[in-house]
Every structure is written in structure tokens, then in C-alpha cells.
Structure 1
Amino acid sequence: MRIITVEEHFHHPGAVARVLELAGPGPVVPDDGYGGFLQSFMPDQDSAERLGGKRLAHMDEVGIDIQVVSHGANSPGNLNHAEAVELCKKVNDSLAQQISEHPTRFRGFATLPLYDPVAAADELKRCVDELGFVGALTAGNCGGLFLDHERFEPVLAAAERVDLPIYVHPGMPESAVSLPYYSGKWPAAAHFLFAGPAFGWHAEAGIHILRLILSGALDRHPNLKLLSGHWGELIAGWLDRIDEVLGWASLELDRTPSAYYREQVWATPSGMYNQNQLNYLVAEIGAERIIHSEDFPYVVRDNVSDFLEQADLTDDQRHAIGHGNAEKVLKL
């Protein structure tokens, strides 16, 4: 069975270094063990920075035919600084060059400089028309604003025009959220993980999707396609509750929140290979709304193909999740 995975990341070392310089310190207050934790937490350089080498060998071992690659941690896409525009172009050009070395194995998601929404819209068009990219990925908010804010209207309109998805990836919550919600009488590493990949950034990414729904952005852009990782970032399992409770408010929306979700959002597992979660999502939103992913190089699984092969799915569902949905949504 053909396997296409769509939440796979790389690092541009020069862009990462500059983002760290410009962004300043994060919300986590370091303790004695924090520096060592961060060193162990990050993936090895070869896996993160090269599409060939270890990454390609891993794909061959676990049966991945195509990875759709985007920039990972410390991306310039959400950098709240004018230099983000040029940094994003460098990232996209570097990714395109690496894809050209293995054109049958990789595709790309654009990194967009949300600091300048008009430039971001132009960059998406360039990446699609000139570099052959198949959508974009954003990570968290920019300057405390999510994509539902009116300033990002050019970005949403551009994604709808090119008819390719935006992957609404998590980003680390800002200090105003992170410190009161996720810091406490535990090590700095636990604060980082609690606010990030253990829970916090999933909640924030789910909120991001909900804001796009509640703001009317999906009424203004009914053909906009969104991807949401980690089994729908806590929202896909909460649709009935959202419909019922938000139904008590006088929302001027054309559809129920769950209808927007089931019609304009696709969920991916992001390497969280849990059969119960797969079964639930198939029942809740349908196999036609699930696209496979691993989250390489942060999550490295030896059962990328086996997870689907062993699942309680029909052959049609298995092929839809493994490759068919990605082929349709990303025009592969």
C-alpha cells in the first residue's frame, strides 16, 4: 500500500539561529537541568536538516513513499519581526532545492511570514506556482493573533485561491498563557512539555481551528481546507458538546461548528499511533477526513505502515487514510 505522510519537518539552521536571536527568551525559566533536557529533546542534526541520509533510509524501512515536509521548531513563519519575510523565502528555497534532489519522495509545505500577511499571500503563490509546493503550514500565532484576525484575510484568501490546505500546527503558548497555566512546582522541563507537546500546544491549536470557525472565516472562505494534527488537537472528540453549548449563543454562522469541521478540516495522527483514537475518529468524522502522518524527526516510529495494515479498517478506508485523501487534498 502506498503511504504518504504530511506532518514531517526539517530545520533550516541559519533561519533557526536568527529566529532565536530575534525572538528573545521564551516563557520557561531555566533550572539546572533545563539546558541538558533541551539538548536531548531535539532530534539529531542529520535527520532534522537533510531530506536524504537518515530520513530517506527511515522512510524506506517503514514503507513511506512520500513525505510532505515543512519547517519545524523555531520557524520564521510566526516570527513577529520584519526579517521574517526574507527568512521564510530562504527556508522555502532551501526546502525546494532539497526536494529537487529526491523529487519522487518529497513534497513541501510553504513557510509563510505571518508578520506581513500580504507578503505571506505572495509567498504562498510563489511556493505553489514556482516551487511546486502543495500547501502551507503555520505554527501557533503571530504577535498574539490567530489566523481568524482580519489582518490575515490575505493569507486565507490566497490558500483558497490556490485550492491547497493550511496545516494549522501547534505553537508554544505565549508567556501570558504559559506561566499561569503550565508552570508550577515541577522542573522547567516539565513546564516546557506541559505547555507544549504533552498538552498545552494541542489545546491552543484546537482553539485556533475553533476561532476560524466561530469568526465566520470559513463562511467567507467556504473552500478553504485546513489540516489539524494529533487526531484533531482535542477538538475532533468534542464536536457534539461544542454544537450544543455554542448553540445557546446567537452565532451568525451558516452551519453548526461540527459541520464546518467535518467539511473543511482533515485530521492527522502525528505519530500518535493509538488504535482506539483511530477507531473513534473514523466513527466521528469518517476515514475520508483522516490523512496519515508521523511527525518526523520529533517522533520516529517503526510501525508507520503496520499501524494502518493492522487496523480494523476496510480496504477502502485503509487506502484513503494511507494515501488517497492526501492525493486528493494536496493534488499529488
Structure 2
Amino acid sequence: MRVITIEEHFHHPEVSAEVRALSGPLPVEPDDGFADFIQAEFMPDRESAEQLGGRRLAHMDKAGIDIQVVSHGAFSPNNLDCPEAVDLCRRVNDRLAQQISEHPTRFRGFATIPLHNPAAAADELKRCVNELGFVGTLVTGTCGGRFLDDERFDPILTAAEEVDLPIYVHPGMPDNPTLAGYYSGNWPASVQFTLATHAFGWHMEAGIHILRLILSGALDRHPGLKLLSGHWGEFAAGWLDRLDGTFAKTGHLERTVRDYYRDHVWVTPSGMYTHNQMNYMLTEVGADRIIHSEDFPYLVRDDVSEFLIQADLDDDQRHAIAHRNAEQLMRI
């Protein structure tokens, strides 16, 4: 069984260092042990994070992964809200393309685009697809507090329609007021940061990101837009019945939330290999809207292919999730 995973990351160390310098300190008051905690959580083994060969390939062979679709991970310039983002994103994409060229049968790329400058971002997405062979783009949260439904980002949505490839709506750091108001409390800095980010907060925000694209009419303005949502749909995919029932009363939408979701969104597990969630998503969105992923190198699992083998799937569903949906959506 061929296996393609699509939420897999690498680091460009020099660009990441520049992003950290331009972004300033993390919006959490550090305490003893916080720096070590961040290092362990978001700066994994450097070779695995920075190189598409070596340990990464060895892991893929062991876990049964034929192709990874790779995007920049932590400290990406994608949502850096300053002009330097344009050049930094281009450097990331050129480095990724160069590494993919060394292993062309094993990797594909998602473009890193500078949301700060939507026109430049649209141009960079088209360059990455048409010249570098990338298969879509991945965005990490908001830029300047704005989600993609803001009409200033319409050039990006238009470009994604033009190249007919998906936007992966990935979690990103909540803004400072949200982080302080919702996630600070009588606990260590590591708990605040974890609650605000990879335990809960940024997943909720990523689900809201998809819902804003639906509620704003962006999917009516851009009917060909294709979206990817990790972590089993970032809460939103599990709430479609409630969303349909409540927004039906507003008379705001041309279609139901569920219809928009099922027409425009594909979900991935992002290494959350739980059969109950898989079974629920099969019912909510169907096997033709699920694509496999691991979230390497932040999660390193030996059961990437085994999870699908053990799942309660028929052969057609298993092959759809393992490779066919990715092949069709991203022309792999």
C-alpha cells in the first residue's frame, strides 16, 4: 500500500533565527525551565528537522511512508508581519526545492508565502507551483491579527484557485490578548504555552479560521478554493451538526455549513492516530475527504502505515486515505 503523508515539516535554520529576531520574545512570561521546554517541544533533532535525507528517510522507510509533502515548521516567515517576510519566504522555498531535487521520488513541497504582502504571496505561490513543482501552500495562523477571510488576502485565494491546489490552514500562535485573556492562569509558563498552542488553543483558532472562510462568503467568492485542515479538522469538523442548526436561523449563508465544509475541506489526522476519531470523520466527511499525515518531526510514529492497516476500513477507503486522495488533490 502506497502511503503519502502531508503535514510534515522542516526547518530553515538561518531563516528561523531571523524570524525569531524580528518577532521578539514569545508572549509568555518565562520562568525556570521554560527555555528548555521550548527547545524540547519546538526544536527537535536538528538533522531530522533540517535535512530531507538521512534520519528522515530512514524513518519513512521504517514507518512505511512513500512520500512526504513538506512545509516549513516552527518559526516560519509565513505570518511574519513585516516586509522582510517576502525575501525570507523565497529563501525557504528555494532551500526546500533544492532538497526535494535530491530525493525527487520521496518528497513534495508546500510553498511558504508572505501573508504580509498578499500580492507578493500570490506571486510566490504561483512561482513555487509553476517553477519549483510544489503542490500547494501551508499558512500558519493569522498575520497582523487577520484571518484569510479578510478581503485583503483575496489575491492569495485567487492564486490558489488559479493553480488549483490546496491551502493547508495550519495552527499558529494566538495573538497576545487572546493568549493572556484565555490561557494565562495559576500555573507554570510551560502550562500556559501548551494550553494556548499545541494542546488546545491554536487548534481551536485553526478551526475558527476555516469557519471564518465559510461565514465570510470567501468560499462563494472563490468557489474553487480547496482547504486542508489538520488534527481531524481542528474541532470544527466535529461540530458540523451544531453549526448547521444554529446558522440556519441566521439566514446568512447560501448553503449549510456542512455543505461548504464537505465541498471545500479535506481533513488529516496529524499524527493523532485514534480509531474513534477516524470512524467519526468517516461518518462526517467520508473517506474521500481524509488524507494521511504524521506531523514529523514533532511527532515521530512507527505506526504510520499500521494505523491504516488496523483501521475499520474497506480496501477502497484504505487506499483513498493512504494515497489516492492526495494524488488527486495535489496531482502527485
Instruction: Name the amino acid aligned to 2:123.
Output: D
Equivalent residue, structure 2, for 1:221: 222
For each residue in 1:205-228, what CA deviation from the matched residue of structure 2 results, as whole angstroms up to 9, or x when unmatched? Answer: 000000000000000111110000
Equivalent residue, structure 2, for 1:130: 131
Please state whether the residue corresponding to 2:238 is helix, strand or coil.
coil
Instruction: Name the amino acid aligned to 1:316.
Output: D
Unaligned runs of 5+ in 2: none
Equivalent residue runs for 1:31-46 within 5 Å: 31-41=31-41, 42-46=43-47
Equivalent residue runs for 1:25-104 within 5 Å: 25-41=25-41, 42-104=43-105
Whole-angstrom CA distance in 2 between matches of 1:196 and 1:46: 24
Equivalent residue runs for 1:160-309 within 5 Å: 160-251=161-252, 253-309=253-309
Q: Does 1:319 align with 2:298?
A: no
Whole-angstrom CA distance in 2 between matches of 1:132 and 1:116: 22
Instruction: Name the amino acid aligned to 2:183.
Output: Y
Whole-angstrom CA distance in 2 between matches of 1:97 and 1:6: 19
For each residue in 1:106-146, what CA deviation from the matched residue of structure 2 results, as whole angstroms up to 9, or x when unmatched? Answer: 00000000000000000000000000000000000000000
How far is the alpha carbon of 1:302 from its aligned partner?
Answer: 0.6
Whole-angstrom CA distance in 1 between matches of 2:32 and 2:247: 45
Q: Which moved more, 1:112-121 or 1:27-36?
A: 27-36
Whole-angstrom CA distance in 2 between matches of 1:316 and 1:249: 39
In the comparison of the two structures, how many residue pairs are matched? 331
Q: Which moved more, 1:38-47 or 1:260-269?
A: 38-47
Instruction: Name the amino acid aligned to 2:202.
Output: W
Equivalent residue, structure 2, for 1:113: 114
Instruction: Name the amino acid aligned to 1:40.
Output: A
Q: Which moved more, 1:163-172 or 1:36-45?
A: 36-45
Contact kept, 8 Å, 1:29 with 1:188, in 2: the verdict is yes
How far is the alpha carbon of 1:65 from its aligned partner?
Answer: 0.2
Q: Which moved more, 1:204-213 or 1:40-49?
A: 40-49
Instruction: Name the amino acid aligned to 1:288.
Output: D
Please state whether the residue corresponding to 2:108 is helix, strand or coil.
strand
Equivalent residue, structure 2, for 1:4: 4
Whole-angstrom CA distance in 2 between matches of 1:231 and 1:250: 28
How far is the alpha carbon of 1:39 from its aligned partner?
Answer: 2.0
How far is the alpha carbon of 1:40 from its aligned partner?
Answer: 1.9
How far is the alpha carbon of 1:180 from its aligned partner?
Answer: 1.1
Whole-angstrom CA distance in 2 between matches of 1:39 and 1:136: 26
How far is the alpha carbon of 1:250 from its aligned partner?
Answer: 2.9
Instruction: Name the amino acid aligned to 1:204.
Output: E
Whole-angstrom CA distance in 1 between matches of 2:39 and 2:289: 36
Please state whether the residue corresponding to 1:292 is helix, strand or coil.
coil
Whole-angstrom CA distance in 1 between matches of 2:66 and 2:256: 37
Equivalent residue, structure 1, for 2:149: 148
Equivalent residue, structure 2, for 1:329: 329
- The percentage of counterpart residues that share the same residue type is 69
CA RMSD across the alignment:
0.6
Whole-angstrom CA distance in 2 between matches of 1:46 and 1:193: 25
How far is the alpha carbon of 1:314 from its aligned partner?
Answer: 0.5
Please state whether the residue corresponding to 1:77 is helix, strand or coil.
coil
Whole-angstrom CA distance in 1 between matches of 2:331 and 2:255: 27
Please state whether the residue corresponding to 2:65 is helix, strand or coil.
coil
Whole-angstrom CA distance in 2 between matches of 1:62 and 1:302: 5
Whole-angstrom CA distance in 1 between matches of 2:77 and 2:29: 23
Contact kept, 8 Å, 1:26 with 1:175, in 2: the verdict is no
Whole-angstrom CA distance in 2 between matches of 1:163 and 1:125: 10
For each residue in 1:38-76, what CA deviation from the matched residue of structure 2 results, as whole angstroms up to 9, or x when unmatched? Answer: 122221100110000110100000100000000001100
Whole-angstrom CA distance in 1 between matches of 2:182 and 2:156: 30
The alignment's TM-score, normalised by the length of structure 1, stands at: 0.99
Whole-angstrom CA distance in 2 between matches of 1:164 and 1:40: 33
Whole-angstrom CA distance in 1 between matches of 2:285 and 2:265: 9
Whole-angstrom CA distance in 1 between matches of 2:45 and 2:230: 23
Whole-angstrom CA distance in 2 between matches of 1:137 and 1:302: 25
Instruction: Name the amino acid aligned to 1:19.
Output: V
Instruction: Name the amino acid aligned to 1:23.
Output: S
Unaligned runs of 5+ in 1: none
Whole-angstrom CA distance in 2 between matches of 1:30 and 1:121: 37
For each residue in 1:136-167, what CA deviation from the matched residue of structure 2 results, as whole angstroms up to 9, or x when unmatched? Answer: 00000000000000100000000000000000
Whole-angstrom CA distance in 2 between matches of 1:209 and 1:68: 21
For each residue in 1:244-273, what CA deviation from the matched residue of structure 2 results, as whole angstroms up to 9, or x when unmatched? Answer: 11112131x321111010011000000000
For each residue in 1:158-203, what CA deviation from the matched residue of structure 2 results, as whole angstroms up to 9, or x when unmatched? Answer: 0000000000000010111001101111110111110001000000
